[in-house]
Structure 1
Amino acid sequence: MIILYDIPANVEGKAWSPNTWKTRIALNYKGLPYRTEWVEYPDIAPLLRGYGVPRAPPPAWMAYTLPAIYDPKTRSFTMDSMKIAVYLDATYPDTPAVLPASLRVFHGAFQRAYWDTILEHLRSLIMLPALKRQLNERSQTYFRETREKAFACKMEEICTPDKQAEQWARLEKAFGVMASWFEAAGDGRVLFLGTDEGQICHADTQIGGLLKWIQTIFGPESEEWRRVERFDGGRWKRFMAIIDKWADTSC
């Protein structure tokens, strides 16, 4: 059984991170048996370094990150959701592919566009609520120290009440840009690969992970989440109705 390493939060099901959600959704979609081992932020680097997992490029605080998996079939560790998707497709070719070779150039470009378009606007709104509402104490300390070093300011300065209206407006506009990527197909698709609601790819798991992050941090009944559901005529509510089929946290 594959082991998925994930970061726990004080929420139902424990899962919250947009990055680890990508791999969790992919494993559920593929129907691969796995179990979760929960790792607090300060324990990630010692764990992966101890198993000889190669470190990622700088910055140093992102040298070891989750998701990571261990697969007893090949006795190997893989870190980073995109590398994990490639690994799972290659090792389990009889399962639905999420990142076939024909899509890897697209996914590389999408990842950069997705980061620049959405994440830059969302992080300022969501990091402080994530820190204060959901993370366990040991991870809170680590999260604050690393993010304040990266942003060169206190977490409380990133999103203040006087900035929120403007930040939400920018985020809604950013989601509109992302919606236009789907609309360019002209066929009413909700998912990247088309109108078949049973077929997803790695880009869908990225957006799914992002939306699960917002939903989990603010709360499924919060006005913040309801606001995102209303973006783009309810497109993202329809998107989540599909992705939720593979958002199981029972493993």
Structure 2
Amino acid sequence: MFSLFDEMRLTTRATARLALNYKGIPYRTEWLKHQEIAPKLKELGIPPNEPAPSGPPQSPYTVPAIQLPGGPGIMDSAAIAAKLESIHPEPSLHLDNGLVEKVGPLIGKVAFPLLPVFMPRIARDIILEEYAEWFAEARAQKLGMPLDELERTRGGDQAWEAARPGLIELTQFLAEQKRDDGPFILGSQVCYADFLIVSMMEALRRIGQDLFERFIQVSGDHSLRKLHEACQRWMRSDQ
């Protein structure tokens, strides 16, 4: 059975879980507290992330990660998806349709402007109390300012307005790609690119239902809500 290593209390990158559930692959989840992530992934023999060439520094070790039965550990959602597709090709994630490469930048246009909205909320409402101070300090180092200052100076309505063009572009992209009236990017056929969008939406929903609802409202379109609802069957939190 596969082992999935994920972050306790908040699955901010649900794509690996969506892919496992979609393919019907049995797995067990081992929930890790923040300061347990690096030691556990080192134990699995996973090499650390390369330093980010630009933008905020990237953590050396991140979740989700998986361990194959009797095999290696793999970190990073994209690498996990590629491995799952190679060893369990059906049902297909359709990684070769070119949509992942198009969706990634669109998600960035939405997520980065909203960082001053959701990151302080994660620190206050999601992180275990024993790690809250450590989490806030670590994120302040990466972002160049304390989270309360980030929220005060760059959050609120201005952050949502900054995300609006990206959200509109994302909904337009969904409309342009559809082959029929189905809820997914391609209509009735689901693919991994759908899971990228839905994992961002699910993260916002877990941080706060109000964030999820404003996400839909600012997009000006209910296609994103329909996509999220259509993926609920693969959104099981654990197995």
Same fold (TM > 0.5): yes
**1:82 aligned partner:** 78
**1:18 aligned partner:** 12
Secondary structure in 1 aligned to 2:92? coil
**2:3 aligned partner:** 3
2:164 matches 1:164:
no
What residue ranges of structure 2 are gaps of 5+ in the alignment?
Answer: none
Is the alpha carbon distance of 1:43 and 1:215 closer, same or farther for their aligned partners in structure 2, counting shifts above 3 Å?
Answer: same
Deviations 1:175-198 (A, max 9, x none): 111111122236555322x221xx
Provide TM-score, normalisation by structure 1: 0.85
**1:179 aligned partner:** 171
2:239 matches 1:245:
no
**2:91 aligned partner:** 96
Native 8 Å contact 1:82 1:202 kept in 2: no
1:165 deviates by 1.4
2:36 matches 1:40:
no
**1:118 aligned partner:** 110
Deviates more, 1:157-166 or 1:36-45: 157-166
1:63 deviates by 1.3
Letter in 1 for 2:119: M
Native 8 Å contact 1:5 1:36 kept in 2: yes
Deviations 1:70-122 (A, max 9, x none): 111x51211000000000010112x212253x23x54234323422x111112
**1:136 aligned partner:** 128
Secondary structure in 2 aligned to 1:159? helix
Provide TM-score, normalisation by structure 2: 0.89
2:119 matches 1:146:
no
**2:215 aligned partner:** 228
User: What count of residue pairs does the alignment treat as equivalent?
Assistant: 233
2:53 matches 1:62:
no
Query: In 1, distance between residues paired with 2:7 and 2:110?
Result: 22
Secondary structure in 2 aligned to 1:228? helix
Query: In 2, distance between residues paired with 1:162 and 1:122?
Result: 9
Deviations 1:218-246 (A, max 9, x none): 13xx3x33222333322221111101111
Query: In 1, distance between residues paired with 2:116 and 2:153?
Result: 12
2:199 matches 1:202:
no
**1:13 aligned partner:** none
Secondary structure in 2 aligned to 1:35? strand
Deviations 1:138-184 (A, max 9, x none): 44234212211111100001112884112122223321111111222
Deviates more, 1:208-217 or 1:138-147: 138-147
Is the alpha carbon distance of 1:70 and 1:99 closer, same or farther for their aligned partners in structure 2, counting shifts above 3 Å?
Answer: farther
Native 8 Å contact 1:99 1:202 kept in 2: yes
Percentage of identical aligned residues: 23
Secondary structure in 1 aligned to 2:177? coil
Native 8 Å contact 1:182 1:189 kept in 2: no
Is the alpha carbon distance of 1:97 and 1:139 closer, same or farther for their aligned partners in structure 2, counting shifts above 3 Å?
Answer: farther
